[in-house]
Amino acid sequence: MTTLTDLSNDLTQFIVRVRSGAVAVAGHGEPPFSGIIWREGIVVTSEQALGEEGDITIILDGGEAAKATPIGRDPTTNTAVLRIERPGLLPVEHGDAATLAAGQIALAVGRHRSGHPLCALGAVALAGDAWRSMAGGRIDRLIRLDLRVGRELEGAAVLDASGRIFGMVTAGPRRTVLAIPAETIERAVAQLLEKGRIARGYLGVGVQPARLATAQAPRRKGLVVVSVEPNGPADRAGITVGDVLLAIDGTEVRTSHDLLGLLGPESVGKQMVVTGLRGGAPFQWRIEIGERPAV
């Protein structure tokens, strides 16, 4: 029993040390999410916490409220960045998600709308490889958490046993709980602070998945072009409606998700070779990837 009491006391002291870096983010009359003091004056939270417009309030330790200004958002990594004009809010040290292993302790620390800290204790259930979100964002590591969290803990910091942030709580598919790695968040924060948005690659085509049955590609899948944006990258390269895209720089594209995954920020301005079919015959185009226009 003494061991359990010691563990309980240690966890309480742990929360005391890091609680100032956890905030609640309330906007547009919706129940608040949690957020993280990522840098001095900068708050990171779940992109899903923000509506389309309206004021945003940050609830600090003890219940103090402060206004925040949106800087930018990246739905592909579920990251939103806010600026708060409130000196003295110091971030918690960032850790390295690359060192995680299944079974390690994971502690989610957020904030309730009342100003009191929220927490959930669990473990890293899976520490896997890099992956692409459904929106095409590059996530540096697949981190699944053995935690049960409600809405108010989404956007919360996830800390390792040494008290460093290795990620941010986000809802995964089929009620799983994931952590967006700190490295992924930092990359999004840097781009949003610089540009206010995340650059995405742009071909300028509308596509639909197609199952092929040709001598060159029996039972193969590709993407049939159903529209071409005038004077877009694909149009300038000579791609037309009816062409079938099979691969970009040697990587197959069988679904729209595959295509989005190849058109990340690093692709903008890059020359890429697109292989496919035209009238059933093999064809190849060299395209300079553009930047997706701001919506």
Residue that wins the pLDDT comparison between 55 and 175: 175
Residue that wins the pLDDT comparison between 262 and 212: 262
pLDDT at 19: 85
Distance in angstroms (rounded) separating the CA atoms of residues 186 and 201: 20
Distance in angstroms (rounded) separating the CA atoms of residues 263 and 292: 9
Distance in angstroms (rounded) separating the CA atoms of residues 291 and 263: 9
Region 273-285: mean pLDDT is: 92
Residue that wins the pLDDT comparison between 80 and 295: 80
Same domain, yes or no: 105 and 218: no
Of 157, 177, 198, the last residue of a domain is 198
Distance in angstroms (rounded) separating the CA atoms of residues 80 and 188: 9
In this predicted structure, the answer to whether residue 233 has a pLDDT above a threshold of 80 is: yes
Q: What is the pLDDT of residues 12-61, one digit of tens each?
A: 888 888 888 999 998 766 789 999 999 999 999 998 877 666 678 999 99
Closest C-alpha among 71, 270, 95, 96 to residue 190 = 71
Distance in angstroms (rounded) separating the CA atoms of residues 203 and 259: 10
pLDDT at 130: 93
Same domain, yes or no: 95 and 224: no
Categorize the per-residue pLDDT at 215 as very low, low, confident or very high, splitting at 50, 70 and 90. low
Residue 224's contacts (CB-CB under 8 Å, 6 or more residues apart) are 207, 208, 209, 210, 242, 243, 244, 245
Distance in angstroms (rounded) separating the CA atoms of residues 181 and 193: 18
**Token pair 């993407």 is at which residue?**
223
CATH of the domain at 122: 2.40.10.120
Enclosing domain of residue 218: 201-291
Categorize the per-residue pLDDT at 175 as very low, low, confident or very high, splitting at 50, 70 and 90. confident
In this predicted structure, the answer to whether residue 1 has a pLDDT above a threshold of 60 is: no
Same domain, yes or no: 100 and 216: no
Q: What is the pLDDT of residues 121-173, one digit of tens each?
A: 999 999 999 998 888 889 999 999 998 888 899 999 999 988 899 999 999 88
Same domain, yes or no: 125 and 91: yes
CATH of the domain at 237: 2.30.42.10
Same domain, yes or no: 212 and 70: no
- The answer to whether 267 touches 291, Cβ cutoff 8 Å, is no
Distance in angstroms (rounded) separating the CA atoms of residues 179 and 79: 11
Of 167, 198, 229, the last residue of a domain is 198
Of 165, 198, 231, the last residue of a domain is 198
Exposed, middle or buried, 180 (CB in 10 Å: 0-12/13-18/19+)? buried
pLDDT at 193: 94
Whole-model pTM: value is 0.84
